[in-house]
Structure 1
Amino acid sequence: MIWRIVMGTKIDAVGLSTPGFFRRGSIDMEIKAAKDCLKSAQLDQNLLGIIINSGIYRDRHVAEPAIATFIQRAIGANEVVTGDRSSFSFDLTNGGCGMLTGMMVVDGFLQSGTIDHGMVVTADTDPVPGESLGYGFTPAAAAVLLSRGEDGAGFLHFKAETEARFIDDLQSKLEWRQHKRKMGNFLVMSQAERYAGACAQFALENLDAFLKETSLKMKDIDLIIPSQSPTGFLGELKKKKGMEEKLVDVTDKLENVHTAGVGFALERSMSSGRFAAAKNCLFLTVGAGITVSLALYRNPQ
């Protein structure tokens, strides 16, 4: 699948959060990231037309109500609907591709003229510490604020594909079992040795197809914002000639950050000036399935 857009959606700000003394859960971290994102853009929270949460591993496995509604209330976005102004909040999960998938959905609302501003927020943390086996993601949260951009700039193309052959290579499930003399529901996670390589191979195959569809060559891509997980994924990507110098890798600070990895890589590239200096920026994300999501972001030159 590929979407072709003339007027792009622009990134206005990024907010990040990691655990603090009074901020340990996924929801607290997301609230902090969302508030910092709004502050950075100097935007009134009541102007947010849509709020999407794409985190997977939430406090105590909360599924309902949507985590996005907690965030909306905490930041005070249109708690009281007045006139035709409101905020629509919901959860949308797609593994490591979730944040980019959320941006694609916000893009659709912006292009339709339904909203003027949207935000994607995500976080992962060990849902119940002491009741998980194999959980290894670094706790972190990120928020991205989006608005309608100029013709020929911003997000111009999105693409998503799925490969089901490796569907069992990354597993995460709740099991009733005994652990350390305690019976209960435990989060059990496992990753096959071949999984990172398979993710990289599928990502690169779709990258080649994406470049053809957008009439670009690899030399035209100035910067790559990739998923920071699964473990080993970035190392596999760096084996491809010409990739390493373009990739933004934050695993030196956050060893195995999951859904928030895209946000952390984006913020690092923005704060260093690499993002603004790049004409063509490629977002390249992978998730369980295997699912690959790509997007082309063009900065005005």
Structure 2
Amino acid sequence: MTDLAIMASGLRKAYQDKVVLDGIDLDVRAGSVFSLLGPNGAGKTTTVNVLTTLAGADGGSVRVAGHDVATEAKAVRAAIGVTGQFAAVDELLTGQENLQLMVDLHRGPAGKRTVDELLERFELTESARKPASTYSGGMRRKLDLAMTLVGHPRIIFLDEPTTGLDPRSRRTMWSLIRELVADGVTIFLTTQYLEEADQLADRIAVLDQGRLVAQGTPDELKRRIPGTHVRLRFTTAAELDAAARVLAGSTRDDEGMVLRVPGDGGTKSLRTLLDRLDEYAIAAGELSVHTPDLDDVFLALTGHTTEVLAK
């Protein structure tokens, strides 16, 4: 496989007269986490369906794991794993039986050893002989991901893997995802939690109304949105007054003794600001740089609040 695990160019998909994907381009580097964000109806699920051979594209070209999804669908399926929004486990079977079923379907060698290793890796050994119906939401998601790994996929598509999980279970899933990436697995992630994308993704694409409106690292996307500023807190009103006079464009909060100075958050502009304060012998008690978060990015790019993701 090349350095790119997924390549899509001019991807188009329509259902009757409704265009769902309007010529999107995606490049996903091998061994990375790529997150696709977008409001409901943006085309995220359709994109995943096309990339995983569950739906055919109407136009454009797509290669996954080096294979054309249209002409080499079987090879694509052999290289990928897909974990949907809802855990696809058989609740009548135990955790061990669910994994053994997947091993049997893949006709993999050393089946019992594979099952035992996955149970241990996902901390499911103690509950291995209990029906999956007794598992918590977090345990089911871990079992679902473990079942996906039976086929040793090089690329895993995770569709909202932590929806409905408590914060502790969510962070456990994050750790498991990071471990997979450290082993060289590529993760294609859709999520309704922007914090999740911020924590995990190497690159993010924002999809809106079938078009990609932005791509980049989390930090690159945040820097595109106005609102970065330096926050200075002073210990006396005299220092606050003096700083407000010499720092053009700043806004003040007298109650909090805080001055906010617009900037790009870079070291050069920060050094200029500090030199300006030093020139007038003004000292701030605290200094911090604040940048927009992914919620701000999402709202600016799509015109929707992030609540739309969760509906």
How would you bin the TM-score normalised by the shorter chain?
under 0.3
Higher strand share: 1
TM-score with structure 2 length normalisation? Answer: 0.25
TM-score with structure 1 length normalisation? Answer: 0.26
Q: Which has the higher contact order (CA 8 A, sep 6+)?
A: 1
Higher helix share: 2
